[in-house]
Structure 1
């Protein structure tokens, strides 16, 4: 049975928000260069960057807790889960 790990779900969120952050950045630059109304786009970009920073910090914290012996949240070494457990238990 396929189960999602917490970090994998977080990685998908980072990718989702990362795509829209890049898109809003491009729109903001175009609006600024062409003299359009860029304030709304810039505020949206600020919100997206803030969400991205929070997601990345949460991911780092989860992996650091796991490395200190907390609950497993990822299969960071790739391959099988058994190989991951073997490397983690060293």
Structure 2
């Protein structure tokens, strides 16, 4: 469901981009309408890139790697605590 939502939103953003390009002003270099057009296109491309990033699952791989690292640190901490317990029991 989550991936489907990203595909729909990305498709809408692409549709808005294709619809707006012929209507944006690119004639007068340095004018406010041209600056607005360039910023609008940059924002639309940023939205499309964000949805594509989610669809490709790049964050999922990073999340899995971080989860693996956290499990390893937890295991190491448990080993350290168990080792100290053994040392305390040995001293008694």
Give the one of 40, 50, 55 matched to 2:51: 55
Gaps of 5+ in 1: 66-90
Gaps of 5+ in 2: 62-92
User: If the length of structure 2 is used for normalisation, what is the TM-score?
Assistant: 0.52
User: If the length of structure 1 is used for normalisation, what is the TM-score?
Assistant: 0.53
Deviating beyond 6 angstroms after TM superposition, the runs of 4 or more aligned structure 1 residues are: none
Is 1:32 matched up with 2:30? Answer: no
Instruction: Indicate the structure (1 or 2) with the bigger Cα radius of gyration.
Output: 2
Shift in Å, 1:23: 2.4
1:40-87 residue CA offsets vs partner (Å, 9 max, x unmatched): 01101101101100100110017x76xxxxxxxxxxxxxxxxxxxxxx
Write the distance in 2 (CA, Å) between the matches of 1:38 and 1:58: 31
Point out the structure with the larger helix share.
2
User: Please, what is the CA RMSD of the aligned residues?
Assistant: 2.4
Write the distance in 1 (CA, Å) between the matches of 2:55 and 2:48: 11
Q: Give the match for residue 6 of structure 2.
A: 10
